[in-house]
Amino acid sequence: GQTFEYIKVSTPKPGVGLVEINRPKALNALFTPLILELNTAFRAFDKDPSIGAMVLTGSHKAFAAGADIKEMSTKNFADAYGADFIEVWSEMPNTIKKPVISAVNGHALGGGCELAMMADVLYCSEKANFGQPEVKLGVIPGAGGSQRLTQAIGKSRAMELILTGKSFSGQDAYDWGLAARVFKTPEECVEAALATAETIASYSRIAVKACKEVVNKSQDLGIREGVEFERRVFHGLFGSEDQKIGMTAFAEKKKPEWKHR
Ligand code: CAA
């Protein structure tokens, strides 16, 4: 397979792709070469028919301590605007069709918090350290933080956090609804993310793809349009073999053998 400098890629369980951010010297600070590697890895897993879901994690110390401040410090407006700085970060949330679970341990600050929130499901350990500290650097969240954090935890809390740059714990992230689950230790967090990804990978790829698509529409459309969209996709699934296979298996008390896996 492909070799990477800043990430590690493996398939630790059937159907599960694992991507680990691995730039320990900079606490996994995110710079363009690293993001391009992440995109390459996600694209490959997304295309690989044996993979059903992905997990994104960092180290126990840092998921990612932000965008690389040293890379950014000398940029001017023309550099940033001209090169659409940070736009490549949007490839995972915008184009990857299979579910991505982020397993967050240690620091998830600035761009690290934003990257974690781009995943479809977020798990963390209690002591994870989240935050959007950009205001302290004289800037604002630049990779979706103001939108995704606000959507996840509500305006007043998000506003307070973004205006003060204060950190919040993994336990807070869970209590406020940003994290789907919280774990005592980093090991448990990663294990649980892999187990959930394995469960997802055991289902029909077609059904899973449609689940992700319709849930994501809830963020983009009003409730009425969203429900109509969901119903159309639901209708469409009656044209897939896996709907027949899944429902027949239930009636016959058998395990479904999915066509699309
Ligand atoms: N960018 C570049 N390098 C970083 C970094 C970052 N975001 N975060 C940490 N590092 C580097 C440090 O410079 C240091 O390198 P050296 O050994 O060469 O000095 C190394 O990683 C270890 O870091 P510390 O010595 O600071 O470790 P610590 O345990 O004392 O502190 C920390 C940890 C609290 C996370 C601290 O490193 C920190 O505050 N980092 C910056 C966090 C931050 O502001 N992130 C937001 C960035 S802006 C952004 O992300 C914009 C956006 O929205 C896209």
pTM assigned to the model? 0.95
* 48 and 134 assigned to the same domain: yes
Lookup result for tokens 């919040």? 168
**Is 106's C-beta closer than 6 angstroms to any atom of ligand 1?**
no
CATH code, 214: 1.10.12
Question: What would the two tokens of residue 213 be?
Answer: 């698509």
How far away, in angstroms, is 109 Cα from ligand 1 center? 9
* 157 and 216 assigned to the same domain: no
* 106 and 63 assigned to the same domain: yes
Question: Which pLDDT score, from 0 to 100, does residue 1 have?
Answer: 59
Q: Please list the active-site residues.
A: 67, 111, 114, 134
- H or E segment and range at residue 181: strand 181-183
Provide ipTM, 2 decimals.
0.98
Parent domain of 46: 7-201
C-alpha 215/C-alpha 108 separation (Å) is 25
Provide the domain count of the chain. 2
> In 146-170, which positions are buried (b, 16+ CB within 10 angstroms) versus exposed (e)?
bebbbebbeeebbeebbeeeebbbb
Per residue in 138-170, pLDDT tens?
999 999 999 999 999 999 999 999 999 999 999
* Helix%, strand%, coil% for the chain, nearest 5: 50, 15, 30
Per residue in 45-104, pLDDT tens?
999 999 999 999 999 999 999 999 999 999 999 999 999 999 999 999 999 999 999 999
Q: Whose CA is nearest to atom 43 of ligand 1?
A: 66
